[in-house]
Amino acid sequence: MREQLMHASRNKRVGLQALAALARHAFKPLVRDMAHNPDALKTSPEQYLERAKIIRRQVETMNNADVRRQLLDIAEKYEELADGIERPQSL
């Protein structure tokens, strides 16, 4: 039982570390570009879709169901953002 708890704890920690690394990877180009180009703040639908694709690929390597669900939720949000830019909602 103790070994199972240690394995689950380690697995979750690895999943959270991967999630943090993924977040750093996804936003690093945006932050770097902001210093040189104010228009870099405008994220295109293609950029959001690419981030969603990267996250979905990362999910395939995850063993922890909670982390997988969180990553899939993030990917869905990116896809919703892309869809909102492509088809702006009327007021």
Q: What pLDDT, on a 0 to 100 scale, did the predictor assign at position 3?
A: 57
In the chain, pLDDT over 70 holds for what percent of residues? 48
Q: What pLDDT, on a 0 to 100 scale, did the predictor assign at position 64?
A: 93
Block means of pLDDT (10 residues each) for the chain, length 91 residues?
51 63 60 60 86 94 93 95 76 50
List the one residue out of 63, 66, 71 whose CA is nearest residue 11.
63
Q: What pLDDT, on a 0 to 100 scale, did the predictor assign at position 4?
A: 47
Distances (CA, A) of 57 to 20, 65, 67, 73: 15, 15, 13, 13
Q: What pLDDT, on a 0 to 100 scale, did the predictor assign at position 5?
A: 44
Length of the chain: 91
pTM for the full predicted model: 0.54
